Amino acid sequence: MLDKILIISILLVLPIVAQTQEVAERQLDNNSISIYDNDLLSADFHSGRREELRKRMKSNSVAIFLAAPVRNRSNDVNFEYHQNPNFYYFTGLNEPHAMIMIFKEPTEVNGRFIKDVVFMQEKDPETEIWDGKRYGTSGATMILGLDMALENKVFHEMELDLDQFDEIYVQNIHDDIRDVPFKNGDLFDLKAKLDVKLNKVKSKQKNGQLSLWCAELREIKTDEELNLLKKAITITCEAQREIMRALNPSMTEYQAEAVVEYIFKANGAEYPGFPSILGSGENSCILHYTASRRPMNKNDLLVCDIGAEYHGYTADVTRTLPANGKYSYEQETIYKVVLEAQQAGIDVCKEGKNFWDPNIAATTVLSQRMKELGIIKNSSELRRYFMHGTSHYLGLDVHDVGRYGKLEPGQVITVEPGIYIPQGSPCDQKWWNIGVRIEDDILITNGKPVNLSGCVPREVEDIETLMLEKSRFND
């Protein structure tokens, strides 16, 4: 009795991931999954997302998602694991070698009527010494709130006949799944056994519909999602502000990248949401430049396109900075053209507008101003210097899924026009090697758009002022 009272007392004071008392008790068990964050998406969130999917599914149907494959970096070293966003959205499970089946109505599996079942790796103390603790099947039901969890090795033995369903939805599966030697029940085996079952019911598969439903659900962020996305954006904004303070012409691109990604990690972000883009001089005109090896010069611009990933949600914020802290006349001229275009795009980020309206607004400004500067003669030439769209959805992917229809409250999109004038362009040489992109993360509301990354200076004068401040890295 005394031991039980002691355990209950501990549970009352420990900062536990808020699920249930049973979850807290499992966290006291050395054999259970280790959870250190108290702001993860809740089991109720993932359960609610599954319910929203069921509302869209036809009667007597099933939806199937596979976890992302483990991807090899070289030899016996893999890349750090990143879950399939759809799988994570509906489960909360961030482990490989897994599959979930979501049923429209309760379906009998192993003698129980359930609404969903996940097949996954069971706990394995020997493997966990190397790779970290797993939820295990009991953890998946207790902590993540899934109806049933079974070891993935038993999937092929089950008498679950997919022919009993009228419609079957399967997310498009990556074709880079490797067979893990000496591992029975890995994702390769799981998919192979699933394919055998699916080949018997090809006429019932409606896979395209599932992608549309996922896009519909994920493009509108819940309050829980917005909290995580705002955290990712806040961390990214602090990184942008710090590189403004730290930047000087004696730095290399990789040193600038180190400043940015230090701030990410120091503030709790798990990863960059995409390879950080820090391109100076001629590299400012390369849209997705990631080599980061060039030494900077005093007259360079640095395009800093970065995004921290926090609990799966990714920011995407870009600023273009003068390496010496002061824009030249030509740099400032192009910068202000892009800034005017961006503001025009942000201004039309309103409920009911079409997704592409910000692009139209920004492109109109760019075209007019570039003609006035004599860089282009007619609007058709703009694509030489602005070759991408201004917006994409933001969320569990940096280029998140969505339907590209009307803008609705709860959507978060980027607005990121740019001008890129590489050396050799058919214009006055004074403009050569000037690349400028400005990008912010915009929340669509019932009223005015909200710039979630607006705390990072955009105006020329404000950037130059902040660049005069001392950085923690100056010494």
Segment 56-79, tens digit of pLDDT:
999 999 999 999 999 999 998 999
439 catalytic per annotation: yes
CA quadruple 32, 38, 39, 44: dihedral sign? positive
Which residue of the set 112, 399, 403, 472 is catalytic?
A: 399
283 token code pair: 């590299």
Identity of the amino acid at 412: V
Which residue of the set 316, 357, 440, 441 is catalytic?
A: 316
pLDDT above 80 for 29: no
Output the pLDDT for position 179. Answer: 82
Which residue of the set 54, 71, 384, 388 is catalytic?
A: 388
Indicate the class that CATH gives domain 220-466. Answer: alpha beta
Q: How many CB atoms lie within 10 A of CB 107?
A: 20
Give the SS3 label for residue 224: helix
In whole angstroms, give the CA distance from residue 145 to residue 135. 12
* % of the chain surpassing 70 pLDDT: 93
- DSSP letters of 378-432? SGGGGGGT--S-S--B-SSSSSB----SB--TT-EEEE--EEEE-TT-SS-GGGT
Which residue of the set 392, 393, 400, 441 is catalytic?
A: 392
Stretch among 28-37, 42-51, 302-311, 409-418 having the lowest mean pLDDT: 28-37
> How are beta strands 450-451 and 440-443 bridged, if at all?
antiparallel
441 catalytic per annotation: no
Output the pLDDT for position 182. Answer: 64
392 catalytic per annotation: yes
pLDDT tens string 84-104: 999 999 999 999 999 999 999
In whole angstroms, give the CA distance from residue 317 to residue 249. 22
148 token code pair: 């049933």
pLDDT tens string 158-177: 878 999 999 999 997 777 78
437 catalytic per annotation: yes
Which residue is it, tokens 């970096």?
A: 73
Q: Which helix (H) or strand (E) holds 112?
A: strand 112-120
DSSP letter (8 states) at residue 320: E
CA angle 46, 48, 50 (to 5 degrees): 75
pLDDT above 50 for 222: yes
Which residue of the set 76, 157, 175, 223 is catalytic?
A: 76
Which residue of the set 174, 178, 288, 383 is catalytic?
A: 288
pLDDT band at 31 (very low <50, low <70, confident <90, very high): low
- DSSP letters of 44-58? HHHHHHHHHHHHHSP
CA quadruple 291, 294, 296, 299: dihedral sign? negative
Q: Give the pTM.
A: 0.92
pLDDT above 60 for 53: yes
* Domain locations in the chain as residue ranges: 1-38, 41-217, 220-466
What is the mean predicted confidence (pLDDT) over 446-469?
A: 98
Output the pLDDT for position 30. Answer: 46
- Phi-psi category of residue 292: left, alpha or beta, with phi > 0 → left and psi -120 to 50 → alpha: left
420 catalytic per annotation: yes
**Homologous superfamily of the 41-217 domain (CATH):** Creatinase/prolidase N-terminal domain (3.40.350.10)
> By CB neighbour count within 10 A (0-12 exposed, 13-18 middle, 19+ buried), where does 371 fall?
middle
Cα 420 to chain centroid, rounded? 26
